[in-house]
């Protein structure tokens, strides 16, 4: 409404905006995000990664787990990167990032790794957000003993250095990518529970919630239909900020061998398994290493930008 009122004034003053003035929360938000250099760079990196994940089979046609020994002439293990266009002799098979110890195409594994890491980021944080949201909403809305009990439990989880607790959980559950994701998810829950609880506490005193209660709505429906939708924004911001960290920590668990198990093309485990080849075949470390750093970098930049764009206190 207010935007409609201000628009004619701006025109009267001869101030001609390049684009029509945006209206509504979402368009404002998008415009805010696009104004931030960091967020745009982050968004570009993530878009690139998503495209790589979707078109992995086109960009890197060799299956990531295929052992090439005996299928190609002249192929051997740990062969260095070879691109014919860049002067590599044509009698050697072409491999952008060389081959690994098991004679698989490293480039293929790095590209397909994007699928794993993006999945890891979104699913792990999604899991933490859903559980954290439930805990935070119940604690904030119910108050009293329930609130105290749940929040002290969250304090206990926060009392551990996160990776150490995750190591403990995975060691107890068994080594696998899913368990590593569950562990990193569990460790992240308290952050989201606290954010959710804080928004619920402020929203439940709003007039429209009182009105819904006066109309006879049940607590469950108030929580689900009035409170939860209105407290999602801070959770989304926190979630975006958390994706980079989650990718990093799951990769760390895979690196020490308790996350993704071979032959999954996961960047952390690829670095971990080829660690001994650092001085002979450094591309096996730096290929997945750079991909992993870039992914985390992209999510961190996007998260920072999103926070700046959505935080009304920082609105300029």
Partner 1 sequence: MTRFIVRRLLLTIPVLFGVIFVVFAAARILPGDPCRAQLGERATDAVCADFNRRNGYDLPIPVQFTTYLGKLAEGDLGASTKTSLPVTQLLVQRLPLTLELTVYALAFALLVGIPLGIISAYKRNSPIDVVTMMVANLGVSIPIFVLGLLLAFVFGLLLRGTPFALPPSGRLTSGVSIRPLVEVWGLQALAGPPRVLLDFTSNIYSLNALITGQWNVLADAFRHMILPAVALGTIPLAIIARITRSSLLDVLGQDYIRTARAKGLPDIKVVTRHGVPNAMLPVVTVIGLQLGGLLAGAVLTETIFNLAGVGLAVYDAITGRDFAVIQGFTVVIAVVYLLVNLAVDVSYARLDPRIRLS
Q: Which residues bind partner 1 (CB under 8 A)?
A: 38, 152-153, 155-157, 159-165, 167-169, 171-174, 244, 248, 251-252, 255-258, 268, 271-272, 275, 278-279, 282, 285-286, 289-290, 292-294, 296-297, 300-301, 304
Is the Cβ of residue 165 or residue 309 nearer to partner 1 in the bound state?
165
Q: What is the DSSP letter of 78?
A: T
The Cβ of residue 29 has, within 10 Å, a number of other Cβ atoms equal to 15
Task: Give DSSP secondary structure letters for 192-259.
Answer: HHHHHHHHHHHHTTSHHHHHHHHTT--HHHIIIIIIHHHTHHHHHHHHHHHHHHHHHHHHHHHHTTSS
Tokens of 51: 């495209």
Q: Are 178 and 225 in contact (CB under 8 A)?
A: no
Cβ 59 to partner 1, closest distance in Å?
A: 22
Is the Cβ of residue 169 or residue 209 nearer to partner 1 in the bound state?
169
Cβ 241 to partner 1, closest distance in Å?
A: 11
Cβ 84 to partner 1, closest distance in Å?
A: 27
Provide the b/e sequence for 61-90 (b: ≥16 CB within 10 Å). ebebeebbeeeeeebebbbebbeeeeeeee
Is the Cβ of residue 227 or residue 273 nearer to partner 1 in the bound state?
273
Cβ 96 to partner 1, closest distance in Å?
A: 19
3-state secondary structure of 108: helix
Is the Cβ of residue 170 or residue 310 nearer to partner 1 in the bound state?
170
Is the Cβ of residue 139 or residue 296 nearer to partner 1 in the bound state?
296
Is the Cβ of residue 79 or residue 269 nearer to partner 1 in the bound state?
269
Cβ 116 to partner 1, closest distance in Å?
A: 15
Look-up: residue for tokens 């101030």? 15
Cβ 305 to partner 1, closest distance in Å?
A: 11
Is the Cβ of residue 122 or residue 297 nearer to partner 1 in the bound state?
297
Backbone torsions φ then ψ of 95, nearest 5 degrees: -140, 115
Greatest distance between any 2 Cα atoms in the chain? 81
Cβ 40 to partner 1, closest distance in Å?
A: 14
| All residues at 6 or more sequence positions from 249 whose CB lies less than 8 Å from its CB, including other chains | 162, 163, 166, 184, 187
């Amino acid at each position: 409404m207010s935007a409609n009122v201000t628009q004619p004034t701006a025109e009267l003053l001869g101030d001609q905006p390049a684009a029509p003035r945006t209206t509504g929360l979402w368009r404002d938000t998008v415009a805010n995000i696009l104004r931030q250099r960091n967020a745009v760079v982050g968004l570009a990196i993530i878009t690139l990664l998503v495209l790589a994940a979707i078109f992995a089979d086109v960009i890197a046609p060799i299956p990531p787990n295929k052992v090439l020994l005996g299928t190609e002439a002249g192929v051997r293990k740990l062969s260095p990167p070879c691109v014919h266009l860049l002067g590599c002799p044509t009698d050697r098979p072409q491999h952008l990032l060389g081959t690994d110890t098991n004679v698989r195409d490293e480039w293929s594994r790095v590209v397909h790794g994007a699928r794993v890491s993006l999945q890891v980021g979104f699913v792990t944080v999604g899991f933490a957000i859903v559980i954290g949201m439930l805990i935070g909403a119940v604690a904030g809305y119910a108050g009293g003993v329930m609130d105290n009990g749940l929040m002290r439990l969250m304090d206990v989880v926060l009392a551990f250095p996160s990776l150490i607790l995750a190591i403990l959980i995975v060691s107890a559950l068994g080594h696998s990518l899913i368990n590593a994701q569950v562990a990193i998810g569990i460790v992240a829950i308290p952050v989201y529970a606290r954010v959710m609880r804080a928004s619920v506490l402020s929203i439940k005193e709003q007039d429209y919630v009182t009105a819904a209660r006066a109309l006879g709505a049940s607590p469950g429906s108030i929580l689900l239909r009035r409170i939860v939708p209105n407290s999602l924004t801070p959770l989304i911001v926190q979630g975006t900020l958390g994706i980079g960290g989650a990718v990093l920590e799951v990769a760390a668990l895979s690196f020490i061998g308790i996350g993704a198990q071979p032959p999954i093309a996961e960047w952390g485990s690829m670095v971990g398994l080829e660690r001994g080849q650092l001085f002979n075949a450094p591309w096996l470390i730096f290929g997945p290493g750079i991909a992993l750093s870039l992914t985390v970098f992209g999510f961190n930049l996007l998260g920072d930008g999103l926070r700046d764009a959505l935080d009304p206190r920082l609105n300029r």
